[in-house]
A and B are shown apart, each in its own frame.
Chain A
Amino acid sequence: MKLDPKIPSGPLAEKWTKHKNDIQLLSPNNKRKHKVIVVGTGLAGASAAASLSELGYNVEVFSILDSPRRAHSIAAQGGINAAKNYQNDGDSVWRLFYDTIKGGDYRSREANVYRLAENSNYIIDQAVAQGVPFGREYGGLLDNRSFGGAQVSRTFYSRGQTGQQLLLGAYQAMMKEVHSGRVKMYNRHEMLDLVLVDGKARGIITRDLVKGTINRYEADAVILCTGGYGNVFYLSTNAKNSNATAAWRCHKRGAAFANPCFVQIHPTCIPVSGDYQSKLTLMSESLRNDGRVWVPRNKDEKRPPNQIPEDDRYYYLEERYPSFGNLVPRDVASRNAKLVCDDGLGVGDTGLAVYLDFRDAIKRDSKEVIQAKYGNLFDMYENIMDENPYEVPMKIFPAVHYTMGGLWVDYNLMSNIPGLFVAGEANFSDHGANRLGASALMQGLSDGYFIVPYTVGNYIADEELPKVSTDHKAFDEAVESSTKIMDKLLSVKGNKTVIEFHRELGKIMWDRVGISRSKEGLESAIEQIRELREEFWQNVNVPGDASYYNKYLEFAYRVADYFELAELMAIDALDRGESCGCHLRDEYQTEEGEALRNDKEYAFVSAYEFLGVNGKLETKLHKEELEFEFVELKQRSYK
């Protein structure tokens, strides 16, 4: 396997422009003759589909949900970054680039991250033109808020529903193209396999989730926009249908999987209440702009929070990180919440929660001001927790939220399989070992609107792509392999449900491959994952059959894939003998308990090649060395 990142030469600020100038173009007549498959309709998928169709390509789009508008980008709350410098606070493309690469603890490519920062401003222009109702100032111009990991205000927002509004903008742009006839939409279809012909991605296999049929689609290129794999942990802030099956099956067909152990645990989520818990709800980290995080100083504190005097409150982020305070990056905030709970200072019934308190902000700004900023989040909290956060501090705890790892891609966002492009959270490209707040929406839309439409065109113009029929034996083989997995799952009829297995897998992952990791813990996790996977294939109970709508069959094949991916995540975490960003290895910490990077040995992207599963996952590690020409690698400090 050869991994060439294909980063253009030249000064950082000119790489993307130069690359665009060098790219092969196709005439409108020729574009019409080509077909591109887009899998997933979140920000990356919907924006890519709309943009490619506008250029004249035929596009087929697939969503597992009943409507493309429901993709999980819809749930993003806080905002989207852009380097507009509307606040005149000294922001620039360089600063957005620098904050993002630093926030990612120097484990991403300079060239990719710089391009992301460059594109950020065009995204805002595009969204406003589509009618996305961003927050505005009295004068009618766009407003900004600040977000974790940055000292400037560069985050554009639509109250607490920024993801919803940006997704609806991209969805509507795509529906405009459905109307034009160039985009064909397939809802309630799940991608089960990638079809390779002559080593190139030439189609996909899907299951029609309503009719149960297995279908074949051919194309000149496939763009995977299927999101992240946080649901490996069972409990996460991801939607219930978000899954890794499409990406994992591409991996099994030869696409390298990069940095699988980089998982972001979001600091501000609603704590777990019981075993029946099916998912976790995130509260936007914008709340940390005004909320103060604390726990009682004394372990045996029994008083209700409002009766605990100032001296007995431990504002641990403000004390430990005086310059960033409550606005430290997500990984730092999550790790510290775990540390204070490990010390027995946690609050609530389970002791696994910390307070996020708005008392002082309400005193300073009035309840009305706080309500205007966060009203919907406060309502959501009250609805779930049955407590009024205007009066009682919120209880929060970290939860799995975002996966920085994903399929390996080059500068063109193409995987090592020619013709397979990967965009949005599904790729590994821009966030290194930790993603900053309000950067996911930016990346999804940068990839979809402004990168993939160029680079896919370049690929199609450059390659010999003879017409392929879905009768080709590669399609037969892929159909057979997908059917076999489903038949096997349905035939076990064991004693444990899919959810029971998934919950157990999640617990292993959270305990040992979660906020902090150790050599011993990871080694035992790998053993446990293997044992549980064996048991799964012997004892899982999947109801019904494959001939009709069967949600639990969908869950079953997704969980089967999680069992393999989980092992890869643990293997990668074990291999990475350093702490960086969200990856904290107990063995590698500074004396003050901060992540201790090892740039000499680990400034690389780990990219795994799939070799097989036989009791254990057989895998081969390839390293893409990260070269830093333009920034100096520093120990991150938010103190």
Chain B
Amino acid sequence: MSLMTINLKVWRQKNAESPGKFEDYKLDEVSEHMSFLEMLDVLNENLIKEGKDPVEFDYDCREGICGSCNMVINGRAHGPKHKTAACQLHMRTYNDGDTIVIEPPRAAAFPIIKDLVVDRSAFDRIIEAGGYISVKTGAAPEANLIPVPQEVSNDAFDYATCIGCGGCVAACPNSSAALFTGAKLAHLNSLPQGQPERDKRSIAMVNQMEKEGFGDCSNYAECEAVCPVGISISSIAQMRRDYMKAIF
């Protein structure tokens, strides 16, 4: 097992109102088997022992599914590994002596709470606007009465695996939430159960996205490149088609 020295430049910001800045830290004896977030845990243990404020960052499951972590590592949301959330990144990706820059995802619609922690409640409001199928508890028909062709179901599943981390917004030059919104629309709009509300849903979610202050999509596809679960930008194309059909 090899141990490394890692230099860190971490964005520190007390709250949304105060200005922030990068602070430099040096960590010795970083194991290649550590996850990226475990490396930050070690940094925080050191800071606490030195009587300093630890770095705040969001995390929960640490297995790439909850979507809590979403830091920008060396300019890239979730770091260098393709289809990998920051919590699933391991230090073996780095070399002894490397300098790593860590920042929060930056977007007007994601105000900073502290250090690397941002407020992503805008995503919840986009879902609230229409990201569901209106079926009351108890009102559902027998499950196999709704056959869904396997390939339709598989495609819907691929879009439904979005973890809502916001990496797409951080990566987009326009801070657009089109991949997040498109993924939910593509999931629900492609299923037979989702048809009755298809138009209403498409309009409501797209409008809410705009209202939250996310930018528009210009097909940079940076979002797809950083998405930890590999959501395809074809969802954005489908969102545009559904939205256009719905408004006419």
Contact = CB atoms under 8 A, between A and B. Distances in A.
Interface of A: 47, 50-51, 54, 65-70, 72, 74-75, 84, 86, 122, 124-131, 133-142, 158-159, 161, 164-165, 168, 171-173, 175-176, 178-179, 185, 187, 210, 239-241, 273-274, 276-279, 281-282, 380, 383-384, 386, 449-450, 453, 497, 499-500, 541, 543-544, 548-552
Contact of A66 (B34, B58, B136): B58
Contacts of A185: 124
Given A54-B136, A140-B153, A178-B124, 16 more contacts: A66-B58, A74-B61, A86-B144, A128-B193, A140-B150, A142-B143, A168-B160, A175-B127, A240-B61, A273-B31, A276-B41, A449-B137, A543-B53, A548-B14, A550-B56, A552-B54
A68 B15 CA distance: 23
Contacts of A142: 143-144
B178 interface: no
Given A133-B156, A173-B132, A386-B92, A161 B65 contact: yes
B113 interface: yes
B65 A552 contact: no
B22 interface: no
27 contacts: A54-B136, A67-B120, A67-B164, A69-B124, A70-B66, A75-B65, A75-B66, A125-B141, A128-B143, A129-B141, A129-B193, A131-B133, A136-B149, A139-B147, A140-B149, A173-B135, A176-B128, A176-B132, A178-B124, A273-B33, A274-B1, A276-B39, A276-B42, A278-B41, A279-B63, A282-B63, A380-B88
B117 A549 contact: yes
B11 to A, nearest CB: 15
Contacts of B133: 129-131, 172
Contacts of B127: 69, 171-172, 175
Given A125-B142, A129-B135, A164-B161, A239 B53 contact: no
Contact of A175 (B45, B52, B132): B132
> Which of B128, B131, B147 has the most chain A CB atoms inside 10 A of its CB?
B128
Given A241-B60, A276-B31, A548-B15, A178 B149 contact: no
Contacts of A54: 136-137
B45 A281 contact: no
Contact of A70 (B37, B68, B154): B68
A380 B63 contact: yes
A422 B167 CA distance: 35
The B interface is mostly helix, strand or loop, or mixed, namely loop
A140 B147 contact: yes
Interface string B100-143: 00000000000001100101110110011111111111111111
B67 interface: yes
Nearest to B137: A51
A136 B148 contact: yes
Contact of A129 (B64, B139, B160): B139
B191 interface: yes
B60 A65 contact: yes
A187 B113 CA distance: 13
Contacts of A281: 62-63
Contacts of B31: 273-274, 276
Interface residues of B, number: 82
A466 B61 CA distance: 41
A489 to B, nearest CB: 13
B173 interface: no
B54 A543 contact: yes
Interface in B41-94: 41-42, 44-45, 47-49, 51-54, 56, 58-68, 81, 84, 88, 90, 92
A70 B147 contact: no
B193 A131 contact: yes
B48 A497 contact: yes
Given A175-B132, A179-B129, A187 B121 contact: yes
Contacts of A133: 148, 153-154, 156-157, 160, 187, 191
